[in-house]
Structure 1
Amino acid sequence: MWQYQRSRVMLAAFLLLSFVTVYHLLPRTPESSDLFSSKDSSSISTVKRPKDPKLHLLLPTTSGDVNLCKTILSAKALGYPEPVILGWGGKFDTWYLIAGGSHVAKISRVLEYLESLGPEQDDELVLMMDAFDIWFQLPPETLIERYYSINERANERIQKHMGKAAEIEGIKQTIIFGAGKRCAPNQPQTVACYAVPNSPVSDDIYGGNTDTIMGRNRWTSHRQRYINSGYIIGPVKDMRVMFKKAWEKVQSWPHVDEYDNGSGESGFMHHGSDQAAFAKMLGEQEIQREVLRRRHASTWTTKLTQEPSILKIEGTEVGDILNPPFTHEPMEYVEGEIYEFGIGMDYSSDLGHQTMNSGWDATWLRYDDPEDVFLNKTRKGRNDFDCKYRGDFKIPADMRLYDERDFLPEGRRWEQVNLYTHICMGTIPVMAHYNGDKKERERQWPQFWVQQYGKWIVENTEQYGGGRIGASVWKKDEQAQFMGWDTLCPVEYSKELYRGDNLALVS
């Protein structure tokens, strides 16, 4: 009898251990309970970080534009470091490449800058962003806090999914890209697309339409999970390694991908897309992670993880990412080759919101409005395909790390100005990224308090936060040159920059 009971106990223990082991080895699934975003008003990251980390703000551009001035003006108003312009005056006129080849040059110019920084600067943060499409609406304190918070939550998910492989192989997230809804410009049968993990965002964010083609177009109801290179943030050391690898890919990219679908659209690295290179690097990273996860797992449990998962690309089930059932670009894991770059996504738009395929997901809101007025604003111009507001009507804790009255006009609080809000996530992004309909940059500029207050900032910049307003133009092997506001933003831009509209501050 005693032996029978002992056998039952041992069997139960074995089954429990097996369950725990298999649980940690199961394929990727959405973890909505793990989702952290700025809407969690009481959440502040507990991860250790350098004291007062320095931030480098990089703006790759060859020339000026009124929209560059909007970016610089918003950075100055919120207290960001002086922007560094890369590639100024460069000539790019290759007819078959995007913007003549300037997008590819973003990789080489940023790499040159990173390689100019010494090892003592390895832990400093670098934010590289599109120069013409992005506005800051929250200060660097919130950006940095969210950078660490996003990585903290991501590393918890990595540890949970990969088990002991994460620690043994030193796998963690340190670099964050903007997230988009479509894998582009890469084709869906390539490593850059089918190997991308599911989003941890709630799988009902667009109701029953989530991750289907049902929506304003075939991508608008998808959760964000694909690379958008409009902004990238990470430490100098890791960014240097990643950009070096990206530049190597640019130089070795075939004329047309071997696994092009026959359209020829992949020619010349998708006609000179920096995003194409980063997307492929992410896909390769994810395949390597799966190889390593299985390597450090026992044989019998690994077999259980090879069943088709719910991971899909363009509605097609991927199944085992190491061998999808459809015609696909394979990837051979090469021992000793570097595929891990610590790349992750800004899934919840805590750092920024891309308007491509997502223009209806965000709007400008006042947080001192009565709830019914607030909700009516979230519904304006939207239809049944669009998401419902998921926030808590509150300013999150990471926007209370400082006294906003120090820089908001007339000593106002956050509740008293328009804030660009992601309706579906309930988050207030640090940046608005107008990479969709470019005309929205003109339509929405009056909604932003910086527009109404901008002329005063320019005219009083020495008193307002001190220093100067403009940007440093950096070129390899040359002394950086400061370019002032009047040079970057000539008087003919004033009509657009200072419209006199007061929509952002109406009480």
Structure 2
Amino acid sequence: MSLNTLPSINTLQNNISKPAALTLPGYFLNQLRRFIRPRRVLLCLVFVIAAGLLALGKHYELDIRQAASALSTYIPSGINSAISGKVDGTRWDGDLKYEFKDETYPKKPTFHLLISMPDNTRSANLCKTLLSAAILNYPPPTLIYHEKADDKTQSGYEIVRNVHNFLVGKEVHDDDLVLIVGEESWFQLPAEVTISRFFRLTRDSNAKLLERYGLVSQENSAGFPLRSSPRYTQKVLFGAWKQCSNESGHPACYSVPQSPLPIHIYGRDTDRQAQSKHNRPQFMDSEMVFGRASDLRPIFKNVLNFLEFEDFGHHSTQYGFSRLFGKQEYQRSARYIASLSGIFLWKNWIYQKLNLRKDPAIRLAERNYEFGIGLDYSSSIFQTMDNSVEDIRFLKLDHPLIYPSHLRFSAGNPVQLPLDLNLTAPPFLQHKVSAPNPSPPMSALDNLPLANVPWTDINLLTNVIMPGGIVPAVVNFHGNEHFLDAMWEKMWFQKYARALLRQYIRSPEGPLAAQAAANGGDQWWDLRGGKGGVWTGRGEWFEWNEVCGDFDDEVFRDGKGMFGYESAEDGGEQPVYNGFGQIVSGKERPVKFLQVEEDEVDDEDWYEEEMVEVGVEENEEKITPDKESDGKAEMVEEDDGKSET
């Protein structure tokens, strides 16, 4: 290029002074570049976060109102993960430490079953509970009740007191497992499955607690650290139901964690009403509880003191237990918020948004409300039927079922048999008969399906609302007594109840297990022994016919009469006498049993009002009610421990 072709200085200055024409996209990019500055970015982020939180609070007002649900959620993240994938190789927690000073104590803990009753009135429903416990290999139950049947005002207090007395009695040791249920609770799965699920739920919950709250260091008297341990642990499992039994302003209602179930498990109506069948279970049901004796004692002691010295008969025992759980969860949440650092200006706002009221009585440092209480949100052990009847179906789980659900992707989580049932004994082989001359002798009364019939071939009560379906171990009907008759004939064992009870009585498992436990073996049977009957809180033993002889027709529903006194045509054993008129084999039929007071029959057509028809699978049995009610009779105890006949 020659010098003649170069632009002049004036030309260059003119070109520089003229701005280039901007396009519309270029203009916006230029404005955006000017806007992106650190201060403006920070202000925008604060604005967006605040707006989002306010919008979330407005849209999910009911969810946020649950006091600390976002802060103290420690239940399993998934329902299936809470259920045992296999039955434990050992029945007991491997972390247990046995430091008994008395060598007469068992080396392994034993298993106790308590059944609470409002008074000493016997009923067919109680006998159904006893039967289901016996044939599924639970230990002989101990009945806990208020002995003065005419005084109902102190019934709840007396039951709590009698349970506490049992827990501190000589028959129970610190590491013993104690299962407490109401008289209207039926067992569906073997005891081994229940114990295995309890430990699985406990371990999973403790892992969540450790992740959320971390460790706390323990120091000796000199102030030196000894070791670290989890700040909170779950020790005792209660049932969970859908409505709060206390006042709405009580910590038992607003401070408990939300259920871990999906937030739309019932569709758009989930958790939108205070008392609704479409609520997720998240409140305590004190009718059912499972834990070690050492962990149950302080809970029952606290409730006992409340009922005796503070409440004075104004509230129920349910109120007392749920009150304790609410205070525990409130204190956990309050301490968690107090431990937050760097956001002190936001703490009052967090309290306000979470509706976590400032209760100085609960937050006092010297008051400890930590009892290790947790709830069975998944209903894997405890199924409460109150407001949950429509969640239940009787299903034969021989193949995965895609059940109608409000949840997305439900097809990927079909209803199917729990794995732990595949790894336990078949339903009709819970008790083995090995004696050459069993008593009672084998007869036509012992006809059962083949021993190798699997769990997949029987109809099981299943909660189809739970993701993947749940087959609970224990079902409680408190508050839904009108469904008892209809549900009883649907239970998988009812059709074979007489034969299964005979199998249980002749099996050697009970006495052998009790003897082995007394010698320090790895057994979990109640050391007092006994088969086919019940213990009282005072240590008295009643045989089956002393408690349930008047109700055998309703319990067995086979028309064969009183258990153990069946006719020869049905396969019963007839009494044989010697020349002196003494019986040498068989049993004489009792002349008289305790009188029975028949309940009034309610003619109200409750079924049409409360049952809602839904889609029925081919292998599903619907619940059809029977209006007949159960009779009742009082159990009279004498000083010698025998019942009046």
TM-score between both structures, scaled by the size of structure 1: 0.76
Output the amino acid matched with 2:94. Answer: K
1:177 aligns with 2:225: no
Residues of 2 paired with 1:505 and 1:488: CA distance? Answer: 34
1:203 aligns with 2:263: yes
Output the amino acid matched with 2:295. Answer: D
Residues of 2 paired with 1:457 and 1:342: CA distance? Answer: 38
Closer, same or farther in 2 for the Cα pair 1:302/1:472, shift >3 Å? farther
Closer, same or farther in 2 for the Cα pair 1:210/1:390, shift >3 Å? farther
Shift of residue 118, structure 1, vs aligned partner: 7.0
Shift of residue 100, structure 1, vs aligned partner: 3.6
In the alignment, is the contact (CA less than 8 A) between 1:173 and 1:343 conserved in 2? yes
1:403 aligns with 2:425: yes
1:231 aligns with 2:288: yes
Shift of residue 156, structure 1, vs aligned partner: 2.1
Indicate the SS of the match to 2:489.
helix
1:147 counterpart (175, 187, 198) = 198
Shift of residue 280, structure 1, vs aligned partner: 0.8
Output the amino acid matched with 1:101. Answer: Q
Deviations 1:25-69 (A, max 9, x none): 994386897124478674667963559642110112223111111
In the alignment, is the contact (CA less than 8 A) between 1:163 and 1:293 conserved in 2? no
Shift of residue 384, structure 1, vs aligned partner: 8.4
Residues of 1 paired with 2:247 and 2:199: CA distance? Answer: 32
Give structure 2 stretches of 5+ with no counterpart. 1-67, 97-106, 218-227, 432-447, 511-530, 560-618, 622-645
1:191 counterpart (230, 236, 251) = 251
2:498 counterpart (444, 447, 455) = 455
Give structure 1 stretches of 5+ with no counterpart. 1-24, 256-267, 310-316, 324-328
Shift of residue 247, structure 1, vs aligned partner: 0.6
Closer, same or farther in 2 for the Cα pair 1:188/1:44, shift >3 Å? farther
In the alignment, is the contact (CA less than 8 A) between 1:35 and 1:153 conserved in 2? no
Deviations 1:74-130 (A, max 9, x none): 011100111011236x01444xxxx443223221110000111478x2111111110
Residues of 1 paired with 2:371 and 2:325: CA distance? Answer: 8
Deviations 1:239-293 (A, max 9, x none): 01111111111112246xxxxxxxxxxxx332xx111001111111112212332
Closer, same or farther in 2 for the Cα pair 1:280/1:165, shift >3 Å? farther
Output the amino acid matched with 1:159. Answer: L
Indicate the SS of the match to 2:342.
helix
Deviations 1:302-338 (A, max 9, x none): 65565448xxxxxxx9614243xxxxx7644222323
In the alignment, is the contact (CA less than 8 A) between 1:391 and 1:427 conserved in 2? no
Indicate the SS of the match to 1:439.
helix
Shift of residue 301, structure 1, vs aligned partner: 4.2
Q: Which residue of 2 aligns with 1:321?
A: 356
Residues of 1 paired with 2:211 and 2:496: CA distance? Answer: 47
1:104 aligns with 2:165: no
Residues of 2 paired with 1:189 and 1:157: CA distance? Answer: 28
Deviating more after overlay: 106-115 vs 151-160? 151-160
What is the RMSD computed on CA atoms of the aligned residues? 3.4
Deviations 1:316-375 (A, max 9, x none): x9614243xxxxx7644222323110000000001121111111111211112x66xx56
1:334 aligns with 2:364: yes
Closer, same or farther in 2 for the Cα pair 1:269/1:171, shift >3 Å? farther
Q: Which residue of 2 aligns with 1:220?
A: 277
Output the amino acid matched with 1:407. Answer: Q
Higher RCO, Cα 8 Å, sep 6+ = 1
Q: Which residue of 1 aligns with 2:116?
A: 60
In the alignment, is the contact (CA less than 8 A) between 1:138 and 1:430 conserved in 2? yes
1:423 aligns with 2:446: no
Residues of 2 paired with 1:183 and 1:339: CA distance? Answer: 19
Flag the structure with larger Rg: 2
Output the amino acid matched with 2:486. Answer: R
Shift of residue 464, structure 1, vs aligned partner: 3.9
1:81 counterpart (136, 139, 143) = 139
Deviations 1:397-454 (A, max 9, x none): 2223422252295222101111111111111100111123212110011111221111
Shift of residue 193, structure 1, vs aligned partner: 1.4
In the alignment, is the contact (CA less than 8 A) between 1:211 and 1:222 conserved in 2? yes
2:178 counterpart (123, 126, 134) = 126
TM-score between both structures, scaled by the size of structure 2: 0.60
In the alignment, is the contact (CA less than 8 A) between 2:121 and 2:149 conserved in 1? no
Residues of 1 paired with 2:342 and 2:371: CA distance? Answer: 30
Closer, same or farther in 2 for the Cα pair 1:246/1:486, shift >3 Å? same
Residues of 1 paired with 2:150 and 2:159: CA distance? Answer: 15
Q: How many residues align?
A: 428
Deviating more after overlay: 234-243 vs 452-461? 452-461
Indicate the SS of the match to 2:135.
helix
Residues of 2 paired with 1:39 and 1:416: CA distance? Answer: 25
Shift of residue 151, structure 1, vs aligned partner: 1.2
Closer, same or farther in 2 for the Cα pair 1:75/1:201, shift >3 Å? same
Closer, same or farther in 2 for the Cα pair 1:165/1:359, shift >3 Å? farther
Residues of 1 paired with 2:95 and 2:496: CA distance? Answer: 34
In the alignment, is the contact (CA less than 8 A) between 1:284 and 1:331 conserved in 2? no
Residues of 2 paired with 1:181 and 1:165: CA distance? Answer: 34
